[in-house]
């Protein structure tokens, strides 16, 4: 009788498994072949993987992706937690705050790119006008630094509210008795945050970090609409490189190999980050 709930989940789990297993097997099959338009496919073994790993364009995209994801995490997680701590816990301000935070999350990814493209246009954009007013030249389509930091700022604006909502839900779940006990013990605000708030937010912080890590590796529509991966290859990330290899270059075999490398990097990195955060959380709990 205790296993009956799992029986109701089996059809959905089976459907999800099939829908994920078949495409994965297809990509693994393609990655072993050389597939070019107008030619017969032939078995290439690991040739596609070796060629991709030795490609300077892939190495550059991988480096930019790691740097971008690192900057996303060290910016959005602390900022989201700080904003969640500043939000009201009751009253009408809660509803207003939640609605305002939900607005960026409701905007589709490609529309976000269009909005920021309008903001950064040299003729009608708001950002170039602001930079001109302070005496700084700004051009997202010509300067590498402008394009890079604009994509980062766009992602922070779009996805920090998700971190805020996750952390706010975790804060609401912490029993008020914990803070009352800390107050009785005359704990400072920092010690209360260090030994009460953070240990109880370990689970939600792990979820927030993993979600933002995986989502940052999937970023495609926003920089593609905003910069097209440029100027040059300044904002060409792994997703853009994979799309160009498979669709733009019509090299389905190497595109499949790239997607598998892409997939295993995300899985491995997420697992490593999860283990590190789990151990850090346990260490913090033992210290308290």
Read off the pLDDT of residues 209-237 as tens digits, 9 standing for 90 and up: 999 999 999 899 888 888 888 888 888 99
- Is 140 contained in some domain? yes
> 219: burial class by Cβ within 10 Å (0-12, 13-18, 19+)?
buried
Looking at residue 189, what is its pLDDT? Answer: 87
pLDDT-derived band of residue 282, with 50, 70 and 90 as boundaries?
A: low
- Is 15 contained in some domain? no
Give one DSSP letter per residue of 2-64, joined into a string. TTHHHHHHHHHHHHHHHHHHHHHHHHHHHHTEE--TTS--EE-TTHHHHHHHT-HHHHHHHHH
pLDDT-derived band of residue 78, with 50, 70 and 90 as boundaries?
A: very high
- Is 208 contained in some domain? yes
Domain count, the chain: 1
Whether the model clears a pTM of 0.85, i.e. scores above it, the answer is yes
pLDDT-derived band of residue 56, with 50, 70 and 90 as boundaries?
A: very high
Quote the CA–CA distance of 100 and 86 in Å, as a whole number.
Answer: 14
> How confident is the model over 138-193, as pLDDT tens digits?
888 888 888 889 999 999 999 999 999 999 999 998 888 888 988 888 888 888 88
Looking at residue 287, what is its pLDDT? Answer: 57
Mean pLDDT of 93-105: 88
- Is 34 contained in some domain? no
Task: Give percent above pLDDT 70 in the chain.
Answer: 96
Quote the CA–CA distance of 237 and 223 in Å, as a whole number.
Answer: 9
Looking at residue 288, what is its pLDDT? Answer: 52
| Total number of residues shown for the chain | 288
- Is 124 contained in some domain? yes
Mean pLDDT (the chain, rounded): 87
Mean pLDDT is lowest, of 134-148, 173-187, 242-256, 274-288, for: 274-288
pLDDT-derived band of residue 2, with 50, 70 and 90 as boundaries?
A: low
Looking at residue 137, what is its pLDDT? Answer: 84
User: Is it the case that residue 276 has pLDDT exceeding 70?
Assistant: yes
- Is 226 contained in some domain? yes
- Is 117 contained in some domain? yes
- Is 30 contained in some domain? no
CATH number at residue 275: 1.10.3720.10
282 or 142: which leads in pLDDT = 142
pLDDT-derived band of residue 59, with 50, 70 and 90 as boundaries?
A: very high
> How confident is the model over 18-30, as pLDDT tens digits?
888 888 888 888 8
Domain range for 265 is 48-287
**Which residue in 285, 242, 287, 284 sits closest to 30, CA to CA?**
242
Angstrom CA distances, 166 to 7, 101, 142, 161, 163, stand at 30, 11, 37, 9, 5
């Amino acid at each position: 009788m205790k296993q009956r709930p799992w029986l109701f989940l089996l059809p959905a789990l089976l459907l999800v498994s099939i829908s994920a297993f078949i495409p994965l097997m297809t990509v693994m099959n393609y990655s072993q072949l050389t597939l070019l338009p107008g030619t017969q496919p032939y078995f290439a073994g690991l040739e596609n993987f070796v060629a991709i790993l030795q490609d300077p364009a892939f190495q550059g995209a991988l480096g930019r992706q790691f740097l971008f994801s690192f900057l996303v995490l060290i910016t959005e997680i602390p900022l989201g937690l700080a904003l969640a701590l500043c939000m009201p816990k009751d009253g009408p301000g809660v509803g207003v705050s939640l609605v305002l935070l939900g607005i960026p999350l409701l905007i589709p990814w490609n529309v976000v790119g269009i909005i920021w493209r309008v903001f950064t246009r040299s003729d009608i954009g708001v950002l170039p006008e602001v930079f001109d007013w302070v005496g700084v030249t700004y051009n997202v389509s010509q300067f590498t630094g402008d394009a890079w930091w604009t994509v980062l700022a766009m992602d922070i604006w779009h996805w920090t509210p998700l971190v805020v909502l996750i952390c706010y839900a975790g804060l609401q779940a912490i029993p008020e008795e914990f803070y009352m006990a800390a107050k009785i013990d005359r704990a400072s605000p920092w010690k209360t945050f260090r030994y009460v708030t953070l240990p109880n937010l370990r689970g939600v912080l792990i979820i927030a970090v993993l979600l933002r890590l995986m989502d940052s590796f999937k970023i495609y529509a926003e920089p593609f609409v905003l910069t097209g991966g440029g100027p040059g290859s300044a904002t060409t990330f792994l997703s853009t490189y994979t799309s160009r290899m498979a669709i733009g270059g019509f090299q389905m075999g190497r595109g499949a190999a790239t997607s598998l490398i892409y997939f295993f990097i995300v899985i491995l990195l997420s697992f490593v980050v999860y283990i590190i955060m789990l151990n850090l959380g346990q260490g913090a709990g033992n210290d308290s």
